[in-house]
Every structure is written in C-alpha cells, then in structure tokens.
Amino acid sequence: MAAQAKEGGRRAARRQAVFLLYQHDVTGIGLEELERNAERDGTPVDPFARGLMEGVAADPTGLDELITAAAEGWTADRLAPLERNILRVAVHEILDWPDIPTAVSINEAVDLAKRYCQTEAPGLVNGILGRIAADEHEVAS
C-alpha cells in the first residue's frame, strides 16, 4: 500500500515537473519564478518534481542529443514542447535515478503522452525511450 501511495505521489510530481518544464520551454520564464507562481497559486512544488526539474535543467542539451539520436529522423527541437519535456523527464529518470525501474519511467511517460498529447505521441515516446533504454543497458553491461 505504501508503495502504491508513493507511486501515485510520484505520478503527480512527474506531471507537475513536465508542466513546469513545458512552461519554461515555451515562455522562457525561469523555473524558480514558475515554482514561486505555483506556490502562490496554492500548488507547492513536490520535492520529487523539483529534483526532476533540476536534473533536466542541468543538461537539457545533453538530454535533447540523446532524444534526437533515438528519434530516427526527428530532432528534439522539432518535437512539440510537451512531448519534448515528457521525454526529457523520462530520459533523466532513466539515466540518473537508478532506484526507479526503467519500465516505470517509460510507462509513466507514455501515460502522460496518452493523456495530454496528440494521438501519435504515445507511440513516439515509447519508441524513443525504448531505444534510449536499450542503448543505456548496452553501455551498463
């Protein structure tokens, strides 16, 4: 039961991180200011969401390079901003959060894409993350 509650909390935190990163990507407003705005609106930023946002913000170019390499004919900058940020968060999780199973990171990203993106987005997200996870597994072996 505790694991379920933790994952439900992480699901909401992932959504929060993706939406704040999306707002940052589209508007250029700093993450700190967006976080203050969220808190002022009564939605404090979850510590897990903050960790994800900080990780993505630390190296968005590196994450985008991995996404582009796995996207087969697409570049990260050609992806819709919401899909791009869903992918950035999931790739960051896969690379830098070893306590989170890769399958969980991928499934959560696909679920976000199903809920908030175009019809084709879940398949695109799943394919890109599957390739990155496979490449990461080869490197780790």
pLDDT at site 3: 45
How many C-beta atoms lie closer than 10 Å to residue 60's C-beta? 18
CATH number at residue 11: 1.10.940.10
pLDDT at site 5: 45
The residue range of the domain holding 19 is 2-140
For the entire predicted model, the pTM comes to 0.91
What is the number of domains present in the chain?
A: 1
Tell me the H-state helices in 97-120: 102-116
- Give the CA count within 13 Å in the CB-facing half-sphere of 10: 20
User: Encoding tokens for residue 21?
Assistant: 């990163």
Rounded distance between C-alpha atoms, residue 61 and residue 99, angstroms? 24
Rounded to 5°, angle at Cα 44 from 49 and 1 = 60
Q: For residue 8, give the nearest of 48, 50, 55, 52 by alpha carbon.
A: 48
Instruction: pLDDT tens for the chain, 141 residues: list them.
Output: 344 445 569 999 999 999 999 999 999 999 999 999 999 999 999 999 999 999 999 999 999 999 999 998 889 999 999 999 999 999 999 999 999 999 999 999 999 999 999 999 999 999 999 999 998 876 554
**CA of residue 34 relative to chain centroid, distance:** 17
